[in-house]
Amino acid sequence: MRVLVVEDDQSLGVFLRKGLMLEGHEVEWVGDGDAALEMAAQQVPDLIVLDLGLPRRDGTEVLEAMRRNFPSTAVLVLTGRSQVQERVRCLDLGADDFVLKPFSFHELMARCRALLRRHEHFADPVLRFGGVEMNRMERTVSYEGVSIDLTAKEFTLLEFLMLRRGVCSSRAELLTQVWHSTPAAGTNIIDVYVTYLRRKLAASHPEDESGELVIETVRGSGYRLRDKRRIPRFEQPSTQIQTAQEDVQAVVELARGA
């Protein structure tokens, strides 16, 4: 499912994005109200996790605009404002649910799952990023309109990179999440598969002989998909969080201290 996180607290934004991504969602994260509406117009999300206190355009204004323009998107409001009137106003404006800060990450995820279950039937099974289009239901992939045959493992690796939407994935993360194995010293399986993928993506595009225009090597870190056509948003910090478990723990701590 496609989730848009709108949160101006950078650390919280990073962790929410990663936590939702690890649940298998395609997640975008923006830090202000204008960028939220711009991003939603580009690709209508199934769910918006929306902070109320935002720069440029307040969360309630975003909520109103979302309801007017994208009525099928579920909206979960994150708010530090505990007044009852504020919550009533959000619900009246069309929020589907809200969570008070500080919140438990597990509760937030459970509420997201509940909202997404209701929207499942309307979800678009197609992921799109950097000229690559992937239909997760039909298991088909095309690059700049040319279809590409991938093995099951190549498909899963590309799917993971697409879900990260341009954020760097370390080799350790790819081994854990795609190969479900413990990172063993000296293994180069990731690099081998990235080379396979690059070859297939580049085969019908002579201008991208190496395939590096699609899958970029981040020196000393890992790999990420490249998309030059993106609208500006936060610079993604290259946080290399070791495991999903630590990541979720960090979110819990962060949310509690928020």
| Smallest distance from Ca ion to CB 167, Å | 21
Tell me which residue of 5, 4, 13 sits closest to 254, measured CA to CA: 13
| Smallest distance from Ca ion to CB 8, Å | 5
Provide the phi-psi class of 22: left if phi over 0, else alpha when psi is between -120 and 50, else beta: alpha
Phi and psi angles of residue 186, each rounded to the nearest 5 degrees, phi first: 85, -5
Among 1, 5, 8, 132, interactor with Ca ion by CB under 5 A: 8
> Between 59 and 130, whose beta carbon lies closer to Ca ion?
59
166 binds Ca ion (CB under 5 A): no
The answer to whether 198 touches 214, Cβ cutoff 8 Å, is yes
N-terminal to C-terminal alpha carbon distance within the chain? 27
221: helix, coil or strand? coil
The answer to whether 178 touches 172, Cβ cutoff 8 Å, is no
| Smallest distance from Ca ion to CB 88, Å | 20
Among 2-10, 82-90, 101-109, 120-128, the segment contacting Ca ion (CB under 5 A): 2-10
| Smallest distance from Ca ion to CB 77, Å | 12
> Between 65 and 189, whose beta carbon lies closer to Ca ion?
65
Cis peptide before 237 (omega within 30 of 0): no
Among 6-14, 83-91, 134-142, 196-204, the segment contacting Ca ion (CB under 5 A): 6-14
- Residues 21-80 binding Ca ion (CB under 5 A) are 51, 53
> Between 51 and 96, whose beta carbon lies closer to Ca ion?
51
Sequential DSSP letters for 1-33: -EEEEE-S-HHHHHHHHHHHHHTT-EEEEESSH
Tell me which residue of 90, 84, 103 sits closest to 61, measured CA to CA: 90
Residue 179-218 contact track with Ca ion, rule CB under 5 A, x = bound: ----------------------------------------
> Between 58 and 216, whose beta carbon lies closer to Ca ion?
58
> Between 8 and 96, whose beta carbon lies closer to Ca ion?
8
> Between 53 and 94, whose beta carbon lies closer to Ca ion?
53
The residue count for binding Ca ion (CB under 5 A) is 3
The answer to whether 171 touches 190, Cβ cutoff 8 Å, is yes
- What are the contacts of 180-184 at 24+ separation with CB within 8 A? none
| Smallest distance from Ca ion to CB 9, Å | 6
Tell me which residue of 102, 112, 130 sits closest to 47, measured CA to CA: 112
Among 1-9, 21-29, 109-117, 137-145, the segment contacting Ca ion (CB under 5 A): 1-9
Q: Which residues bind Ca ion (CB under 5 A)?
A: 8, 51, 53
